Amino acid sequence: MLHLAAGTDERWGQWALEHMDAILLDHAHCEKKAASTALSMIFRYPDRPQLMMPMSALAREELEHFEQVVALIRRRGGEFVRQEPSPYAARLMAATRKHEPGRLLDILLCCSLIEARSCERMQLIAGALAERGGDAPGHELHELYGLYNGLLVSEARHHATYVELARGCVQIDEAELQGRLAELAAHEASVIEAAPREQPRMHN
């Protein structure tokens, strides 16, 4: 269960396929950012031992995803290049509280929502690829399909990991946690709704 407050229009997947080179570049940046966010939690919260191993493992896994996406970009004749960051993550994170332990709880829940939205968008891309026959081995779109179909499973797991860490790190009852998750999910839905549509991005 992804805890998103609003789903993306199904047509987004086909739109993404029309701009696959730009989406792949943005996707590579997202994986890099996901690795860096996990690593930053180790630096920011050395006093939270329960975060260390999961965040270290997550950072490694996200870097592997980064490598997979960059390798595919190169096989398609492109290159990983600098890109202006999408405003999505910064706008979402703007809702995190400034004081602990609310801050830690909010960061973990916002990270879970980013993972959930990424998973949802990857599902739409994989679905759009399947509609064009990409789920059949040997099809020219099969490599792309394999990438997205594989990664979306990881992102769903990461979503659950962050919610689980929020439960384990912050003393809060379940109703309160679910309430805060619903508030942040509503904020996330408004951020993604307001995202600029001109540039093809994972979170536009």
Cβ closest to Fe ion, residue 106 vs residue 155: 155
- Show contacts with Fe ion in window 77-106 (CB under 5 A): none
* Among 93-101, 107-115, 140-148, 164-172, the segment contacting Fe ion (CB under 5 A): 107-115
Cβ closest to Fe ion, residue 153 vs residue 182: 153
117 binds Fe ion (CB under 5 A): no
- Show contacts with Fe ion in window 26-45 (CB under 5 A): 31, 34
Cβ closest to Fe ion, residue 154 vs residue 198: 154
Q: Show the 3-state SS of the chain.
A: CCCCCCCCCCCHHHHHHHCHHHHHHHHHHHHHHHHHHHHHHHHHCCCCHHHHHHHHHHHHHHHHHHHHHHHHHHHCCCCCCCCCCCCHHHHHHCCCCCCCCHHHHHHHHHHHHHHHHHHHHHHHHHHHHHHCCCCCCCCCCHHHHHHHHHHHHHHHHHHHHHHHHHHHHCCCCHHHHHHHHHHHHHHHHHHHHCCCCCCCCCCC
Map residues 142-171 to x or -, x wherever contact with Fe ion holds by CB under 5 A.
-------------x--x-------------
- Show contacts with Fe ion in window 43-62 (CB under 5 A): 62
Cβ closest to Fe ion, residue 1 vs residue 198: 1
Shortest separation between residue 55's beta carbon and Fe ion, angstroms = 12
65 binds Fe ion (CB under 5 A): yes
CA–CA separation, 173 and 167 (whole Å): 8
Residues interacting with Fe ion, by CB under 5 A?
31, 34, 62, 65, 115, 155, 158
